Amino acid sequence: MVFRRRTYQIKPEMLSIFNSFFQEYLYPNQKRFGAKLVGRWVNETKDEITAIWEYQSMEHYHQIEDNIRKTELHQKSKQKRKELGNLYVESRQDFLESTVPTHPPKHIVAVSGYITNKSGEVLLVRNEHRADTLEIPGGQLEEGETVIEGAYREIWEETGVKVKLDGITGVYQNLSRGIISIVLKGEYVEGELSPAKGETSEVVFKKLTPENIDQYITRPHFQSRTLDAMEAINYIPYEAFDVRPYQKLSRLNQYGGDNHS
C-alpha cells in the first residue's frame, strides 16, 4: 500500500467552501476509480487541511490520476476553481509507506440491485465512467455498513427511488480489481427516476429478456449477474450481526424478505 498526504494552506474563512468543493468534486472522482480516503483533518487555527489517501501502489495512483483527468467532473472542478478564485493559498503532497512489513489481503465489497416495477421492467443506470453500457444500480459498501444498508443507499443515491429488497441472487468476483460483488433482487416502491450528479447520466426502466439483454447491457459480466437475478426463484440466506455484545443487525431469508433488528 502507498499513502498520499495532501496538505492545503487555506484562509480560515474559506474552510466551509473548501469542504464543499472537496465533497462535490475531489472525493467522488478518487473514490470512483478505487482510491480510499483514510481521513481528512483541519488544525486548530482552521488554516491547514490534511487529507490522506490510500492506493494499492504508485502505479495504481498514477492510473487513477490519468482516469480522473478524462472525466467531465474534473473539467467542471477546474471551472469551479476559477469561479471561486483562491480556494487555497498553496498545497503540497508527499507519499508514505507503512512500516508494517505485510498487509492482510484486502478486497472491495460492492452491492447492486435487480429492481423491477409492476410492469416487470428492470431498473438500469448508465454510469458516467462506464458510458458504453447500462447496468443494474449499485456501488461499494462503506465501512461499518451491512450489505442490506449499502444496497438501499447505493440504489437511492444512483436512481432517486426507494425499493424493497427480497434476497441475494448471487456473489461474483472480479479478480483483476479485487472486487466481491453481491447482487440482490427487489421491487420498486416509490420515487421519480433521477440521475446522480457526477455519477449516473441515465436512469431508466427497461423490459429485459435473455434475448434482448445485450442491446442494453453490453459487458458480459454485468449480463451474467443480471440474468442470474432475472431467473432466481430462491435466494441465498444472509445475516449480519455484531458480537460485542451479540446483536443481529439484519437478515435476508431463502424465500425472500428482509428482517431488520
* 145-171 pLDDT per residue, tens: 899 999 999 999 999 999 999 999 999
CA–CA distances in Å: residue 141 to residues 49, 160, 247: 26, 18, 20
Q: Kindly report which listed range (112-126, 204-218, 230-244) carries the lowest average pLDDT score.
A: 230-244
What is the predicted pLDDT for the residue at 242?
Answer: 77
Average pLDDT, the chain: 91
Encode 116-153: b = buried (16+ Cβ within 10 Å), e = exposed. Answer: beeeeebbbbbbbeeeeebbbbbbbbeeebbbbbbbbe
The string of DSSP letters for 137-169 reads: -EEEPPTT--HHHHHHHHHHHHHS-EEEEEEEE
Query: What integer pLDDT is reported at residue 61 of this predicted model?
Result: 95
Question: Domains in the chain, ordered, with CATH?
Answer: 2-97 (3.30.70.100), 108-260 (3.90.79.10)
pLDDT at 104: 57
Q: What is the pTM of this model?
A: 0.61
Omega cis (within 30) before 245: yes
The more confident residue out of 144 and 230 is 230
CA distances from 246 to 21, 144, 243, 250 (A): 40, 15, 4, 13
**How high is the pLDDT of residue 165?**
95
Q: Which amino acid is at 261?
A: S
Query: How far apart (Å, rounded) are the C-alpha atoms in residues 234 and 208?
Result: 20
Mapped to the 3 state alphabet, what secondary structure does 85-98 carry?
Answer: CCCCCEEEEEEEEC
pLDDT digits 0-9 by tens, 12-22: 999 999 999 99
Amino acid at 121: E
8 A C-beta contact, residue 49 and residue 89: no
